[in-house]
Structure 1
Amino acid sequence: MTDQESVVLPPHVDDPELLPPGVEAPAEGSLLTYWQDRVGQHVHDSYAGVRLMKFPEDLRMFEHLLWLSRAQVVVELGTHSGGSALWFRDRLRTMAAYGLVPQDIRVISVDLSQKNTHDVLAAADSRYAEHIALLEGDILDQDTSFEVAEHIPQGARCLVVEDSRHAYETTHAALRHYSRFVPADGFFVVEDGLIDSPELCVHIRPPGETGGVVSAVRDWLAGDQGQFFQDRPDLNRYGISCRNMWLRRKSVTTSE
């Protein structure tokens, strides 16, 4: 047994800083009000003590798609605090433990600045850099995608997540520069289409000018690159979500 003083006690569940604010779902309430409250709640959530702004329902769909697409690498555009990078890393490690993907899993997370993220992730896991690469760069600059490519193991299957500024310009640039990393039957996920529905975002104010996510995806799908992808709105399976756009690269054998 270790010395009693060396035992780290678990945090107390009643600490208000450790859990997101609660949301009620009264039977007489409206779905719109519940959805609005959930949008406000999700920006206060966390994973492994690090901020993670994703709906649990969307995380569940990510688990399904990682498993079905056999992704070995997640390319994340928009790091924020780093909680999602940790979450994706842990899901990939679990897949590797099941023998579905090689042990050399990677999360490559890109943002304009990673000034504080290294310290935040190191506090959660001192060995995070073994599988998580934090890159600084502008998604609008195609050269950033070339740097990302240097961190992808040869032949690895990738899932790409666009979760940056949620504006037309960045969404369209992300699709142009990073869709090439998605293999047949793999996925490019554009997050937060709900930004284009102001009635859902009454409890949050995204920084800067946002909006145009849905139109950027539609315009890109109508172009030369987009013809190889299929929009899968049916993958918003859990009703309440951030209205992500799940784009699957068509199989090379499909006639779609």
Structure 2
Amino acid sequence: MTDQESLVLPPHVEDPELLPPQVEAAAEGTLLTYWQDRVGQHVHDSYSGVRLMKFPEDLRMFEHLLWLSRAQVVVELGTHSGGSALWFRDRLRTMAAYGLIPQDIRVVSVDLSQKSTHDVLASADSAYAEHITLLEGDILDPRTSARVAERIPQGARCLVVEDTRHAYETTHAALSHYSRFVPEDGFFVVEDGLIDSPELCVHIKPPGETGGVVSAVRDWLSSDQGQVFQDRSDLNRYGISCRNMWLRRTTGTASAPGS
């Protein structure tokens, strides 16, 4: 086999249907149009063959925060197809390989139903359950967070990601029940604040009642529980994003996973 032949990709890798739709960045276009197109594109993206609906720019910021916060566990609220659980697992594996965190890494992913997710993840990695725990439960029910706590290694630093219905009720409940897992200088990330900006979502139709993410976060931050967190909106560093809300627990307010 020649060097040139060794660079030829298998036919299935070249299949355009396995790639997200193309977005044009026309010089004469507007930023709003480009952003709208990117929102429509990101719901058709994937990771390791599994659907992953996140902006690349937001994934890059997640990498920074995992590294800086030395998170050993990711608590993910909203599993969807499981692509993000795989992605977080692989980032934690890399950090463990660098010796930044213990080898005992874990992604705990919660959704109302995991009926098909087990099969989807197993098709991508038959050993996924070694580091990924799929839990069925309602985040509105505080008992679900107690079950999550049982899956977190003692003393592990956690990063929590809320990516459920993007509605006021679920966002506020997620913050109320799961912020306790975030350690000092750790992060709670509320995804998709852009859902409250209809002009950005013209190419997607969110299911059910959505909206109220930003107001839920603001109301919770003003509560006694939320006052120990800072809204780090400056961490949307890459301009185009899903307008995630990056909340950092301040120094001197550490919380334990089992508290």
Q: If the length of structure 2 is used for normalisation, what is the TM-score?
A: 0.93
- 1:63 equivalent to 2:63? Answer yes
| C-alpha distance in 2 between matches for 1:140 and 1:158 | 20
The gaps in structure 1 that reach 5 residues or longer are 1-8
Q: Write out the 4+ residue segments of structure 1 that deviate beyond 4 Å after TM superposition.
A: none
Q: Deviations over 1:161-185 (max 9, x none)?
A: 0000000000000000000000000
What one-letter code is carried by the residue in structure 2 that aligns with 1:231?
D
What one-letter code is carried by the residue in structure 2 that aligns with 1:126?
S
Aligned to 1:27, what secondary structure does the other structure show?
coil
User: 2:19 — aligned with what?
Assistant: 19
Query: How many Å apart are 1:17 and its aligned residue?
Result: 2.0
Q: Deviations over 1:176-229 (max 9, x none)?
A: 000000000000000000000000000001100000000000000000111100
User: 2:87 — aligned with what?
Assistant: 87
| C-alpha distance in 1 between matches for 2:11 and 2:194 | 34
- 1:72 equivalent to 2:72? Answer yes
- 1:100 equivalent to 2:100? Answer yes
What one-letter code is carried by the residue in structure 1 that aligns with 2:191?
E
Q: How does 1:1-256 map to 2 (within 5 A)?
A: 10-252=10-252
Query: How many Å apart are 1:13 and its aligned residue?
Result: 3.8
Query: How many Å apart are 1:11 and its aligned residue?
Result: 4.9
Aligned to 1:76, what secondary structure does the other structure show?
strand
Aligned to 2:32, what secondary structure does the other structure show?
helix
| C-alpha distance in 1 between matches for 2:17 and 2:186 | 37
| C-alpha distance in 1 between matches for 2:69 and 2:153 | 16
**Aligned residue-pair number:** 246
What one-letter code is carried by the residue in structure 2 that aligns with 1:141?
D
| C-alpha distance in 2 between matches for 1:99 and 1:15 | 37
The gaps in structure 2 that reach 5 residues or longer are 1-8, 254-259
| C-alpha distance in 2 between matches for 1:159 and 1:123 | 26
Query: How many Å apart are 1:41 and its aligned residue?
Result: 0.1
